Structure 1
């Protein structure tokens, strides 16, 4: 059963901070501390309601733009991350699950699946498998929320050769 009536709601997340570990194939690695360059725009789509499981709210994150200054891999140089329409060309998918009898304000599970374009001094990299982020939110936009990743994600250059991995991704809004 649809909860909303074929409407989409546009929202903006004004700021966030992120970090991730980037390890290159030669063994060099760095924990990169990112700041958000522009507000992140996203769309809240129609939601699905089930008497057994509650409401699932689907989101499309339209743009992510982050920047970090490298201290180890490329001292003093910038690493830029783009995601969404201005990154890999498609919105990033995310969702929040509100169980029966709960409200989002009570704190509910949310997840997103990130595809990044990573601009570095050594070239432009990307991931083919999404970075699966999980967290708890109490509203939309997801303020005062922290999301984290699990596992390791391979990153590739423009020729599809693996150049390294990402892990330990953390985002705080």
Structure 2
């Protein structure tokens, strides 16, 4: 817990008081709602006269928390909060509706996914960034098989012989 940078800045007396306060909490209770846990933590801190700044409180919450797929969905201003660990993007074929593609290709695999409609293209103002992918290897690369091993060995031997002759010329 004290590995969090903001908490390391506390003096040793404040760190000790914080540890004592946290030991007063029931460690056997698993909290699966971040908002409820935050309220409980603040209440316990106030009851033990521990005052933390916002960055310190955020660091403490981070230190005491871990990602739990069974937990309640975290909400911010009534909207589900995106889990950055699961954030992804898709390449939608040009000319196809982002929403149609989303319903057909994404929702069957991730039913609780949603489109971040704040990401819009500067040119067309539509949801999603317009761009193109040109797979150069697919269209322009022509495979050239490697030379035969016998041919490579012959070239290496010739090179080695030239180096030996040069060394012999230096030592003569």
TM-score (norm 2): 0.18
Name the structure, 1 or 2, with higher relative contact order (CA <8 Å, separation 6+).
1
Q: Which has the larger radius of gyration?
A: 2
Q: Which has the higher helix share?
A: 2
